[in-house]
């Protein structure tokens, strides 16, 4: 919801109600990795949810990572059930643009994905990422276990220390349990968008500051 040029999250009562079922169909398989987009996923795989600005470029970052089994983009963190892209862009759903990453923890650690997350955007910008402005571009991590939550919070604290030393402000990334914030897949044309449109827009860009995840803890 926008008052002037300042994005503001709606309250649950203000948010659009949405619909009980999705208004569109999600493709069966990933256009690059070839694996199914939707679960249930094979035993032994884990799920991670990251919001770091426009999900087109963000998704590509993760599907190019070894050990990632599939990725899909969607909406999370808000109140509207089964929202459309237009509804999310209105600012009246409370959702942010998210990449769901399904990965093999034996091949790539959650900490490695966290490092990629932090280094691929500026987590201090609040309701924007670069030139993209709106509540749907806010930084977020939605966790699927206590271990993920602990790792996410530890990595945030470690990265805050190095960002502060480089002149950046406080991290605004929200870290919340995924169980409390349902994930809704986005429309078919958003899935693997930059594979279908190689010259398409990608607003993803980091701070240039290395994240010490896996190198040092926040207490070092």
Catalytic residues: 54
**Strands (E) located in the chain:** 2-3, 6-7, 46-51, 68-76, 96-103, 128-129, 132-133, 140-143, 174-177, 184-185
Question: 55-75 burial string, b = 16+ CB within 10 Å, else e?
Answer: bbbbbbbbbebeebbbbbbbb
Cα angle value 172/54/162 (rounded, 5°): 35
């Amino acid at each position: 919801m926008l008052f002037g040029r300042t994005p503001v999250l709606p309250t649950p009562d203000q948010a659009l109600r949405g619909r009980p079922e999705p208004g569109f169909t999600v493709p069966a398989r990933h256009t690059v990795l070839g694996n199914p987009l939707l679960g249930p996923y094979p035993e032994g795989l884990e799920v991670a949810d990251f919001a770091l600005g426009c999900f087109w470029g963000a998704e590509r970052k993760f599907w190019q990572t070894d050990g990632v089994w599939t990725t899909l983009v969607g909406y999370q963190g808000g109140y509207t059930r089964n929202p459309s892209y237009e509804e999310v862009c209105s600012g009246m759903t409370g959702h942010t643009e998210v990449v769901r990453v399904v990965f093999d923890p034996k091949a790539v650690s959650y900490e490695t994905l966290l490092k990629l997350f932090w280094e691929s955007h500026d987590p201090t910008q609040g309701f924007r990422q670069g030139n993209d402005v709106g509540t749907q571009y806010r930084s977020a991590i939605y966790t699927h276990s206590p271990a993920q939550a602990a790792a996410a919070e530890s990595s945030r604290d470690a990265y805050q220390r190095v960002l502060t030393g480089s002149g950046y402000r406080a991290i605004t990334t929200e870290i919340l349990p995924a169980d409390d914030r349902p994930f809704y897949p986005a429309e078919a044309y958003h899935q693997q968008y930059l594979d279908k449109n190689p010259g398409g827009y990608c607003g993803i860009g980091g701070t240039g500051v290395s994240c010490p995840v896996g190198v040092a803890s926040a207490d070092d």
